[in-house]
Every structure is written in C-alpha cells, then in structure tokens.
Structure 1
C-alpha cells in the first residue's frame, strides 16, 4: 500500500513538472510514517442451537432484514454467526435491532467474543 502511495506521489509531482528531489523525499517520508491500524472485529452474534436446524430458512429471514449470517468453524465446531462487530456494544446494538423486527421473532442470539486470529 505504501509503495502505491509513494508511486502516486512521485507521478503526481513529475506530471506537474515539479521533479524536485526534496518534494519526492517528503512524499516518501510522509507515506512511511503514516501507519493506519484497521479495527479488528472481536464480537459476533451466535444463533442458538434451535435455529441452526433451519439454517436455510433462518438465513433467508436474516438477509431479508439486513443481517448477513455466516458459518465460522473453531476447534472442529461450526458456529452460525452474524457480524463480526468491532465492539461488544455494536454486537448488543445489533441484537436489540433484531428483537425489534417482527419477521425475526423466534431467532435467539447470544453475544460472543471471537477467538483472536493468529
């Protein structure tokens, strides 16, 4: 990603007729010192065991109401999840939104913390 930024800056400076090494070096330095850490999702809503028996029906109902479920395997066990969410508060908020949708009555969820990615 940094190489793309540096190359874009170099091309932009060259295209403008400003081939100054000073400006190129400043563009390189700025791109190297800027490191952005993306937020890591650690939380999800797990569909309870009873709903897992009807995965196709439950998946359709969730998708129709703006929730995207997925299967996550951990330790040989498959989990039917919605998310992932960056914070526990976001997961709880999504859980509350689900409870307010009449078409999702009967779909029970638990907020869980996802294992750390190695």
Structure 2
C-alpha cells in the first residue's frame, strides 16, 4: 500500500513538471510516517462442554445465549473459540461473563499464535 502511495506521489509530481528530488523525498517520508499498525488480536476464549459434545451443539448453545463463536483448528484439534481479543483483559472479561451465564461449561483463555490469523 505504501509503495502505491509513493508511486502515485512521484507520478503526480512528475506530471506537474516538478521533478525535484527534494519533493519526491518528502512524499516518500510522508507515506512512511502515515503507516498505522493495527492492534494484533492475540487472545481468545476456548469453550468446551464435554468430550462427547458435538461442536455444532456447543456453537448452537452459545448462539442461543447471544455469543458468536467460531471453530478453529489449533495443533490439529478443532476448538470452539470466542473472540479474538486484542488484550488478555478483554478475554478475561468475556470468560467471566460466559461462566456466570452458562452452566456445565469449561472455558479458558487461549493465546493465539502470532503467525496465524485468528479465524
């Protein structure tokens, strides 16, 4: 994205007859400083009901109570997750709310791998 902005600025300056290296360098510097890093979602809440519970039954129960979940394969195992969250505190708040609202539920905070997308 940054290269597109720089190239657009260079082409615009060249088209206007202002090929000054100084202006091109300022356009590059402006595009470098405008880059914003989005927060990385690294936390999720893993939910289980029991070893024999079907994933579809668990996700349906969560949805009935207003929780939107997704299934992700981590370390070769399919897991039902809520989130992702950008901080452990957000995940902890969800875990606390979930445990107080639903019975017979096992849940834990899970740190997601950085190199893999959350979904």
TM-score of the two chains, using structure 1 as the length reference: 0.66
Question: What does residue 27 of structure 1 align with?
Answer: 27
Q: Does 1:57 align with 2:65?
A: no
Match of 2:111 among 95, 107, 113: 113
Q: Name the one with the larger helix percent.
A: 1
Measured against aligned partners, the alpha-carbon deviations of 1:30-52 in whole angstroms (never above 9, x if no partner) come to 21345433322222111125177
Following superposition, the deviation at residue 20 of structure 1 comes to 5.5
Q: Determine the C-alpha separation between the residues in 2 that align with 1:10 and 1:52.
A: 62
Q: How many pairs are equivalent? A: 113
Match of 2:90 in 1: 90
**Map of 1:36 onto structure 2:** 36
TM-score, L = length of structure 2:
0.66
Q: 1:14/1:66 Cα in 2 relative to 1: closer, same or farther (>3 Å)?
A: farther
Aligned to 2:46, the other structure's residue is in SS state strand
Q: CA-to-partner distance for each residue in 1:55-110, whole Å, 9 max, x for gaps?
A: 21322343451423222221x33322222222110101222343465xxx234321
Unpaired runs of 5+ residues, structure 1, are none
CA contact (8 A) 2:95 2:107 kept: yes
Instruction: Report the Cα distance in structure 1 between the residues aligned to 2:2 and 2:40, rounded to whole angstroms.
Output: 21
- Structural RMSD (CA): 3.3
